[in-house]
């Protein structure tokens, strides 16, 4: 529920003390318990209060109190509000459940772009701020422009690009996550761009298809908390309750993306019907990245390829292929060059192990692949490639047998061999794949790859 009330106009010629300004140009309350009574520390992560300005009326300030992360829009669609990120405060697991947690103590500030910060500070200094509905800030120049000219190359260095740019979407990713952060989102978006250029797709896709695909790729992990769905479920996180333990993270990413798009006003010129269609189709794409649905999507993909009945003139078939493309883009790290792939492997394992450390500390039961005492990067990556990546990209190569597909499979084979070499050095010979993957629910593991 969102409650707004207009406050008296603040004099714009008087500077606002720096300590009361949040990085969004808003005045934040120091404790959510002061607003909501703090009945249960677990509920603190879903509550937030802030004072912010309405861009349509720059002489007024509004108080926004969010008692729930969902905001019902005029269109009747509940979104996850930007800024309502599912921060995990692990102090809630202490035996003393009455510990009062203040918002200011959470230290969950995000990296904001200089341009948006500048616009906010200019407003509070009484300087006219041009109204902008761009999702991307105007920070692209010099080296960044040169890099963007090569964005269609598969060996594109997303880590370098991250150091040169900053965008509005980046605000809603958590920079403290080793893996699920804005760099991963940019990497997936760049991969998606490469797939959209493939002949079978480029000849058939409409501008609408391309737009939806790139937005979905950029926002597919929006507001990711850095832990997986089983963790959210076993800790009774509010998102698990909200989405009934089903595609919890993917639903949250989707609704957060919708909230971002609505707040930006980027598509305000479109009819309500088209905006709702866009939001729904973006949701279909993002929900397809749920790894627990891997076997279902892969089986459908195989069936279509076996029958040879994919018709990209059919909008439903195009949408399905875009779902598969986004799934490929999401887990394409092992298909990059070794220099890039190795960095991603180290980052995702670091995130896994961090979750495992927390689970050990609070006696939650360590999730598969998350125990740094028994797992290694090499074992995890070999299992990941064997059970998830190879089957998916083998089928993608059947659909689009191009130089790019063969390049990806080539890197995949070389990277797997490299990790096997590391594995042999570490253990003196052993399993080719992490047994933890075999212990996972067989329903989410695809069949052996088939090349034709």
pTM over 0.85: no
* Angle of CA points 413, 419, 424, to nearest 5°: 125
Strands 2-6 and 27-28: unpaired
Higher pLDDT, 440 or 154: 154
Q: In the CATH scheme, what architecture does the domain 2-330 have?
A: Orthogonal Bundle (1.10)
369-388 pLDDT, tens digit each: 999 999 999 999 999 999 99
Q: Which residues lie across from 51 on neighbouring strands?
A: 27, 63
Residue extents of the structural domains in the chain: 2-330
Tokens of 28: 């934040």
306-333 pLDDT, tens digit each: 999 999 999 999 999 999 999 999 999 9
Per cent of the chain over pLDDT 70 is 63
Asked if residue 27 lies in contact with residue 42, where contact means CB atoms within 8 angstroms, the answer is no
Annotation: binding site for AMP: 180-184, 221, 330, 381
50-64 pLDDT, tens digit each: 323 333 433 322 222
Higher pLDDT, 13 or 217: 217
Q: What is the mean pLDDT of residues 402-423?
A: 98
233-284 pLDDT, tens digit each: 999 999 999 999 999 999 999 999 999 999 888 899 999 999 999 999 999 9
Annotation: binding site for Zn(2+): 184, 220-221, 330
Q: What share of the chain is helix, strand, coil (3-state, %, to 5)?
A: 55, 5, 40
221-236 pLDDT, tens digit each: 999 999 999 999 999 9
Catalytic positions are 180
* Nearest CA among 97, 96, 98, 67 for reference residue 84: 67
């Amino acid at each position: 529920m969102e409650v707004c009330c207009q406050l008296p106009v603040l004099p714009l010629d008087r500077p606002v003390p720096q300590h009361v300004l949040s990085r969004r140009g808003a005045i934040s309350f120091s404790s959510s318990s002061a607003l909501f009574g703090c009945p249960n520390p677990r509920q603190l992560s879903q509550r937030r209060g802030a004072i912010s300005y309405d861009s349509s009326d720059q002489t007024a300030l509004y108080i926004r109190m969010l008692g729930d992360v969902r905001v019902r829009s005029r269109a009747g669609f509940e979104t996850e509000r930007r800024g309502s990120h599912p921060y995990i405060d692990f102090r809630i697991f202490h035996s003393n459940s009455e510990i009062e947690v203040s918002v200011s103590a959470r230290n969950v500030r995000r990296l904001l772009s200089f341009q948006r910060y500048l616009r906010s500070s200019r407003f509070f200094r009484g300087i006219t701020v041009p109204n902008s509905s761009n999702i991307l800030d105007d920070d692209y120049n010099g080296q960044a422009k040169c890099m963007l000219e090569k964005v269609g190359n598969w060996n594109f260095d997303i880590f370098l690009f991250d150091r040169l740019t900053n965008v509005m979407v980046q605000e809603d990713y958590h920079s403290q996550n080793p893996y699920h952060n804005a760099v991963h989102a940019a990497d997936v978006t760049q991969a998606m761009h490469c797939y959209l250029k493939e002949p079978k797709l480029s000849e058939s896709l409409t501008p609408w298809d391309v737009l939806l695909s790139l937005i979905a790729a950029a926002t597919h992990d929006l507001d990711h908390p850095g832990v997986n769905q089983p963790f959210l479920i076993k800790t009774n996180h509010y998102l698990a309750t909200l989405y009934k333990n089903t595609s919890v993270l993917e639903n949250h990413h989707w609704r957060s993306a919708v909230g971002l798009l609505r707040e930006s006003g980027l598509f305000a010129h479109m009819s309500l019907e088209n905006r709702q269609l866009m939001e729904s189709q973006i949701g279909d794409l993002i929900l397809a990245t749920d790894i627990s649905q891997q076997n279902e999507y892969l089986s459908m993909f195989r069936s279509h390829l076996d029958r040879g009945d994919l018709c990209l003139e059919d909008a439903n078939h195009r949408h399905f292929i875009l779902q598969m493309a986004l799934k490929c883009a999401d887990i394409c790290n092992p298909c990059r060059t070794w220099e890039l792939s190795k960095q991603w492997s180290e980052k995702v394992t670091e995130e896994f192990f961090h979750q495992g450390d927390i689970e050990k500390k609070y006696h939650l039961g360590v999730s598969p692949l998350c125990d740094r005492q028994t797992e290694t990067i090499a074992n995890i990556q070999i299992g990941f490639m064997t059970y998830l990546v190879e089957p998916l990209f083998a089928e993608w190569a059947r659909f689009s047998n191009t130089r790019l597909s063969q390049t990806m499979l080539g890197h995949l084979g070389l990277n797997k061999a490299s990790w096997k070499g590391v594995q042999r050095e570490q253990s003196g010979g052993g399993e080719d794949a992490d047994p933890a993957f075999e212990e996972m629910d067989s329903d989410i593991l695809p069949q052996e790859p088939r090349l034709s």
